[in-house]
Every structure is written in C-alpha cells, then in structure tokens.
Structure 1
Amino acid sequence: MQKVTLAVETEHKILCSRCGYELYHFKRRVVDKGLALVVTALLLFIPANFLPIMKLKMFGQQTYDTVWSAVIALYKADMTIIASLVLSCSLFIPLIKLICQLLVLISLKRPSIRSTGILLLKCYQHLREWGMWEIYLLGILVAMVKVGDVAELSLGVGLFCFTALLLIQVWLDSLMSLQQLWQEIEVESGHAGR
C-alpha cells in the first residue's frame, strides 16, 4: 500500500481504486469538534456516575442506585475482584480515556506538548476497547425489565446523564479516527520541525 500524505484541513475520503470501498474518511475540524465533545463528556461524567440512575421501591423500602453504589455493593458482598473490575471498566478507564482524548486534542493545538500528545494517543489507542459503558447500560435496561414486575421503578437523572455520556463517547470515538489523528500529529510535527 502506498503512503499518501494529504492536507488535513479538508474533508475527503480515500477509496479503494479497484472496488471503491471507503478506506478512510478524513473529517474537517476534528480538533474543535472533538474538544467540544470531550469537555461535554467530562462535564457529564460526575453526574452520570454519582447521581441516581433509578429509584427502586420494594416492600416499603426505597433505594437509589448509582454506578458508584453498585461498586460499593459488590465490595460489601465480598466480590472484591468483580468490584475492582467494574470500578476499573466503568469509572477509571473511561475517565483516563477521556483525559487522554482531551490532552491529545489540546496537543494538536499546542506544539509545545506534542510529544506528550503522541504518548497519550498511544495510551488512548490501547484503552479504546476497555470501556464498559455500553454493557453497563444494557445491564441497567435488563434489570429494569426484570425488576419492573415486582417493584416500583422510577428513572433518575443519572440515567439520562449516563445515556448522554454514552452517546457523546460513541460520537467522539467515531469522530476521532486514529488514522486522521496520527496524520495530523505527523503534519503538525513536520511544521514544528521547520
């Protein structure tokens, strides 16, 4: 395959010359759009994980469930390994991933921290598969369906924040093409070296 260097300011696609399949789609203003999405995701992170996802009323008792309370409940039930895994995959790794995304995008705007941006892009590349938000949301939906017959359920603000955070993260992941980010870092590094 031949290496192609293109100006990254324009939106364009690279297609297979034989079949026309879209190999890459370079989008315009990825850094600006990405920064807006990352900041929004970071603002939603705390309410999504610490505000009640749902209120459960059963046999006269009321409980408010959050992502954090699920981790605590697993820990109190002597499921330390599972609690650690849920804590890592639903809180720590997604937060580190968002911070990496933020700093990578900032490094594209500020050449002085470009080498840090390259390291963080490598870190982000490895963390992409470790987020567990989609699975956690499916678990919440299944629990709501199963428990809905025997208890009174009401949705909390945390669920809406969590869903918005998940959708923004999916949008951000589709926007932040690794191929394009590496291309932009390479182009910017070339300009910085001159």
Structure 2
Amino acid sequence: MSEPGPVQLTELPLEALIACHECDLLMRKPQLADGECAQCPRCGYELYSHRHHVIRRSLALVCAALLLYIPANFLPLMQLNLLGQTREDTIWSGVLGLYDSGMQSIALLVFLCSMAVPLLKLLCQFFVLLSIRFNWGRSYGLLLYRIYHHMRDWGMLEVYLMGVLVSIVKLGDIAELSLGFGLLCFVALLFVQVWLEVTMEAHQIWSALSGEDSHAGD
C-alpha cells in the first residue's frame, strides 16, 4: 500500500500528479506494483489500485455477461398458474405488455434501463478491452470508455430484480408460481456485471488506453 506525498504544483508535470476525489489533495502519482493500492495520506481514500491481469480477467467476465444476456432477457423469469391458466413472463414480454397496455413511455423506459443500456455498456466494455488487448483502435477505445461512463447510471438491473422479487412475494399468495431458468440467468448476469465493475479498474484502463501502462494488456 502506497501513500503519495503532497507536492508543489511547479515541481512536477501535470501527468505526474493526482488529486484525491474526496478531499482534493494534490499529490505525486505513485508507481504501483501488482496488487498494491494508493491511498490519500490526508483522508485515507483509496485513489486507485493495480490489479493482476486486469484485461484478461475483465474480458472473461464481459464475455460471460454477453452470453448470459440473451437467456436473462428472453427466457421465462417465472411461470404463473392462476385459475387453470398458465403464463410465462420474460423481461421482453413485460416490455411488450406495457406497450400494448397503452403505457408506451413506461415500456420505453423499462426497455432502455433493463435491456438496451446494459447491452450497450457491455459492448462498450468489450470493445475497449479488445482495443487494449490487441493494441488497435485506442482512440476509439477512449471514446467508447467515455460513453460507457456516461451510461453507468442508466443501467438499473438491480432495480428490475427488486421489482421481480416484490412481484413474486405478492403473487405467491394468490397464484401458483414457479421460477424459470431466465431468473437464474438474470441474477447471474447481475453478479457478473458487479464483479466486472470491481475487476475493471478504471485507472488501469485509462492508463492503458493512453499508452501509459504498456503491460495492461498482458
């Protein structure tokens, strides 16, 4: 664990400095080995860390998330049996149901937050990692990574999952429910995306895209 010391602005070039996101302390950017992290000496905030094989691990996770995306959205989340009638519900059928019920704006919002934006985020991450791994299209990688950061707050799979769980609890008293394979894939997709967010260290990605970290693609 490394704690960089404060410096005068005139002592070092800008690329050798870093500011704490919490207390705005300006300090010298430390050089980290694998597994180390840098902390602010004033407030203790973790500035960034250097993870092992971050590109390979992130590529594996983003590929797993893309494979889970189709079954999570188009396979049944649950099967509802009420008064002798059986119905299977998926995320896509929920969007269509809202649209057919005259709630087009809500259907569009659900589609964007639960399907479109999460897929676009994964595709951005995938192509950013490929540009680093194979050392091509770094300028496009920088653009896609900026787009990804702007979309981070719009992908709300965890909110949709909470809605599904609330529906299961409420409908369980009036109908016979059985969980579908799509729900398992949806939960797995959510956990893989959280794991990917933790693994894909932003500081290393920015450094690799700008050419500062030549070993990030290893």
TM-score w.r.t. structure 1 length? 0.92
Query: In 2, distance between residues paired with 1:101 and 1:75?
Result: 30
Query: In 2, distance between residues paired with 1:19 and 1:98?
Result: 33
More helix by share: 1
Q: Check if 1:116 corresponds to 2:140.
A: yes
AA at the equivalent of 1:172: L
Counterpart in 2 of 1:166? 190
Q: Is the 8 A contact 2:128 2:144 kept in 1?
A: yes
Give the direction of change, closer, same or farther, for the CA distance of 1:189–1:28 in structure 2 (3 Å limit).
closer
Q: Check if 1:4 corresponds to 2:4.
A: no
Q: Check if 1:59 corresponds to 2:80.
A: no
SS at match of 1:187: coil
Query: In 1, distance between residues paired with 2:96 and 2:213?
Result: 45
Give the direction of change, closer, same or farther, for the CA distance of 1:100–1:52 in structure 2 (3 Å limit).
same
AA at the equivalent of 1:116: Y
Give the direction of change, closer, same or farther, for the CA distance of 1:189–1:177 in structure 2 (3 Å limit).
closer
Counterpart in 1 of 2:97? 73
Unaligned runs of 5+ residues in structure 1 are none
Q: Comparing both chains, which one has the higher relative contact order based on Cα–Cα distances under 8 Å and sequence gaps of 6 or more? A: 1
Q: Check if 1:98 corresponds to 2:125.
A: no
Give the direction of change, closer, same or farther, for the CA distance of 1:118–1:59 in structure 2 (3 Å limit).
same
AA at the equivalent of 1:52: P
Unaligned runs of 5+ residues in structure 2 are 1-25
- Structure 1 residue 69 displacement after superposition: 0.4
Runs of 4+ in 1 over 6 A off after TM superposition: none
Q: Please provide the CA RMSD for this pair.
A: 1.8
Larger Rg computed on CA atoms: 2
- Structure 1 residue 5 displacement after superposition: 5.8
Pairwise mapping of residues 1-194 of structure 1 onto structure 2 (< 5 A)? 1-4=26-29, 6=31, 10-188=34-212
* Residues matched between the structures, number: 190
